[in-house]
Amino acid sequence: MEEDHKEEHFTVAVRVRPFVARELEGAAQSGWEIPGPTSIKEASGERMFIYDNVFDQNTSTQILYEEICEKVIWKALQGYNGCIFCYGQTGSGKTFTMQGSRKDNPGIVPLAIDTIFTYIQQTPDKSFLLRCSYLEVYNECVNDLLNPNLLNLQIQEDKQSGVKVAGATETVCTSVNQVNSLLYMGETHKQIASTNFNMRSSRSHTIFRMIIESKNREYGNADLNVATLNLIDLAGSEGANVHGTAASIHRTREMSFINKSLLTLSTVIMRLSDKTNNAPIPYRDSKLTRLLQPSLDGESKVVIICNISPSLDAYEESLSTLKFAQRAKKIKQVIVKNEVIDSKALITKYEAEIKTLQEKLREMEIKLAEEAGNQGYKEAMIKMEMKLHTIQEEKDQLDSKMENLVQEKLELQSELERLRSMILVSENVRLNTESEIFTENNSKLNDRRRVRLSVMRDSTPGSRQSIARISYKPSEILFKSNNDGLRKFPTVDESKVPDISDSGEFRETMLLDKLDNLKELLESEEPLERMSMMLTPQEIEEARDSIRQSDAQENKEAPKIDFMAIIQEQDGLIQNFQNIIEEKDEQIALLKDELELCRGNLARIQKQLKQMKTK
């Protein structure tokens, strides 16, 4: 059940009716003044009372209803119990306020019926069930006003449905007219009698009860609310001397029951207003308070309208009513909403709640998926950027490797060119070698060649490649050694040296002549001395050493040079270079493929990244 603490739920109002004809016939002296909308004061004294509302003689029931009653009806339509009752001495205007005159001054009951049906009409998303009963408590008996045969009905109580009148007629009403018919029928069965103060005095407490069931159409029986609205017209209290001697025993008995029940009501109200008193509240002391218990002990929105006569003649009764209202004013009420605990309705309600929760869950799942998607997207971006970076690095490395390979290839090609030029030199040598082999009769030339080779060998020990590195200059012969750079020997008169570009045997003869001359020069001391102008002392010494070594070698049998082997070795070397170049070419081709792949990946990843960033 849902509690509602926000509003004041126990409203106490005072209504002062106008003077009636009977009173106007007399002095019609006013006993009360109404200084403001919430206060009432003794006309001839200083006593003043404050309530939630004080309505003067000129206030219509319609205004009173709208001010304090309509909200109770609205609450009942939302599932909160409501109770409106009129309290006051006989002839003070209770019935006028509660029932009114149907045409000119409708009372609270018809106005409430109008409100209920108008609301039902204007609320298509809800369905309602309205059940009406009309009861009276007369001489401590509960009678059914809708069925005069149902008298002295039993009040039953259980935790589930609260206080109920067993067997009371409950008529399902579907229209205003139907309810009005019921009211009319009930009033015909009411205990009415003539009193000194009222020609048609209600001798019973009447309770018009409407049970309003409402449910939201969408959820079936879920959210089924049931509210009980009690609209009570109490019998008027009377003083013992009211009927005077004319009062019959029957009327005295009536009066006794009325006063007793009103006294009990007054006690209950007093106890409810005094929270310091923990004694049980005497609801059971009267049928009226038993029936009103659910409304009074905190389950209903309650409005008490205390009706008084304006006349000074009724001062004591009016004062008594105002005191009762003062006690009631102290009651603090917290109301609760009644929801049906029917298992079927509960299942439907839980199903509706599950459905709502499932929808919420689905919404959350979608949200989470979107967030996860965003997260995944971010992670994918980071991964791709890292991959892009790695591929970029790989590409740079491949570029640099490729550059190195191309450089190596160029160097190799250059070396190959040089080797090829060597071949040319070797071929020349081969030609000479062949002439050496096949021209046996040219012994002088043969001797000279032997000498030349000997000199060359001595000058470049252990290196046959150095032979290929011999270079000719007009003024000197240079022997380039792998180990110690150049050894320089001066030639004879430069002007007489023929142009070495001349080919053939002449060039070789000239060279051999130069060598012969050099040898001769080196063999004598004198020429060496003369050569000192041209050579440094160290060079002269080196030349002498060379001659000595040469002499020593001359004594031995000069080894025969295998020119074919040298040439073959050169050819092998060239072949090796060619192989290496081919290998490099293959590597370059592979690298090119890899680079192409890298470029493709790079472009793809960059495109993906661009797409992701534009999302």
Ligand X SMILES: Nc1ncnc2c1ncn2[C@@H]1O[C@H](COP(=O)(O)OP(=O)(O)OP(=O)(O)O)[C@@H](O)[C@H]1O
* CB of 329 closer than 8 Å to CB of 201: no
Q: Is 597 helix (H, G, I), strand (E, B) or coil?
A: helix
Q: Which of 94, 215, 290, 584: binder of ligand X (CB under 6 A)?
A: 94
For residue 22, give every residue at least 6 positions away whose Cβ sits within 8 Å of its Cβ, in sequence order, or none.
197
Q: How many CB atoms lie within 10 A of CB 400?
A: 10
550 is in an annotated binding site: no
Under the binding rule (CB under 6 A), the answer on residue 95 touching ligand X is yes
- Residue 139 DSSP code: T
Q: How far is CA 549 from CA 235, 402, 428, 461, in A?
A: 162, 51, 28, 11
Under the binding rule (CB under 6 A), the answer on residue 261 touching ligand X is no
CB of 75 to ligand X, least distance (A): 25
Under the binding rule (CB under 6 A), the answer on residue 107 touching ligand X is no
88 is in an annotated binding site: yes
Q: Which is nearer to ligand X, 31 or 93 (CB)?
A: 93
| Measured distance CA(532)–CA(107) in Å, rounded | 156
| Measured distance CA(311)–CA(425) in Å, rounded | 156
30 is in an annotated binding site: no
169 is in an annotated binding site: no
Piece of 16-24, 116-124, 135-143, 244-252 that binds ligand X (CB under 6 A): 16-24
| Measured distance CA(145)–CA(138) in Å, rounded | 11
Q: Which is nearer to ligand X, 17 or 329 (CB)?
A: 17
- CA 14, 236, 183: angle at the middle one, nearest 5? 90
CB of 202 to ligand X, least distance (A): 4
Q: Which is nearer to ligand X, 63 or 552 (CB)?
A: 63
- Residue 244 DSSP code: G
Under the binding rule (CB under 6 A), the answer on residue 96 touching ligand X is yes
89 is in an annotated binding site: yes
**SS3 breakdown of the chain: % helix, strand, coil, rounded to 5?**
55, 20, 25
Piece of 87-95, 151-159, 270-278, 601-609 that binds ligand X (CB under 6 A): 87-95
CB of 205 to ligand X, least distance (A): 10
Piece of 89-97, 392-400, 418-426, 532-540 that binds ligand X (CB under 6 A): 89-97
Under the binding rule (CB under 6 A), the answer on residue 236 touching ligand X is yes
Structure-block tokens of residue 508:
């070789």
Q: Which is nearer to ligand X, 307 or 570 (CB)?
A: 307
Under the binding rule (CB under 6 A), the answer on residue 88 touching ligand X is yes
Piece of 25-33, 84-92, 378-386, 441-449 that binds ligand X (CB under 6 A): 84-92
| Measured distance CA(45)–CA(318) in Å, rounded | 14
Structure-block tokens of residue 389:
């970076």
Instruction: Please report, as residue ranges, which positions from 271 to 310 form the binding site for ligand X (by CB under 6 A).
Output: 307
Under the binding rule (CB under 6 A), the answer on residue 324 touching ligand X is no
Q: Which of 11, 81, 92, 348: binder of ligand X (CB under 6 A)?
A: 92
Q: Could you give the residue ranges of the DSSP H alpha helices within 99-162?
A: 108-121
Q: Which is nearer to ligand X, 198 or 214 (CB)?
A: 198
220 is in an annotated binding site: no
CB of 305 to ligand X, least distance (A): 11
Q: Which is nearer to ligand X, 198 or 460 (CB)?
A: 198
Under the binding rule (CB under 6 A), the answer on residue 198 touching ligand X is yes
| Measured distance CA(88)–CA(307) in Å, rounded | 5
> Which helix (H) or strand (E) segment is 167 a member of?
none
Q: Which is nearer to ligand X, 96 or 479 (CB)?
A: 96
| Measured distance CA(479)–CA(472) in Å, rounded | 9
CB of 187 to ligand X, least distance (A): 12
| Residues, the chain | 615
93 is in an annotated binding site: yes
Q: Which is nearer to ligand X, 108 or 455 (CB)?
A: 108
CB of 88 to ligand X, least distance (A): 6
Size of residue set near ligand X by CB under 6 A: 18
Under the binding rule (CB under 6 A), the answer on residue 20 touching ligand X is yes
Q: Which of 9, 34, 80, 90: binder of ligand X (CB under 6 A)?
A: 90
Q: Which is nearer to ligand X, 307 or 491 (CB)?
A: 307
Q: Which of 201, 454, 460, 466: binder of ligand X (CB under 6 A)?
A: 201
91 φ/ψ sector (left φ>0, alpha ψ -120 to 50, else beta): left
Piece of 13-21, 120-128, 369-377, 455-463 that binds ligand X (CB under 6 A): 13-21
Q: Which of 12, 13, 17, 68: binder of ligand X (CB under 6 A)?
A: 17
* CB of 309 closer than 8 Å to CB of 316: no
Under the binding rule (CB under 6 A), the answer on residue 91 touching ligand X is yes
45 is in an annotated binding site: no
* CB of 294 closer than 8 Å to CB of 273: no
* CB of 201 closer than 8 Å to CB of 251: no
Q: Is 28 helix (H, G, I), strand (E, B) or coil?
A: coil
Q: Return the residue matching tokens 């002295």.
A: 152
Q: How far is CA 569 from CA 442, 483, 575, in A?
A: 29, 20, 10
| Measured distance CA(178)–CA(183) in Å, rounded | 9
Binding site for ATP: residue ranges?
A: 88-95
Binding site for ligand X (CB under 6 A): 17-18, 20, 88, 90-96, 195, 198, 201-202, 235-236, 307
Binding site: residue ranges?
A: 88-95
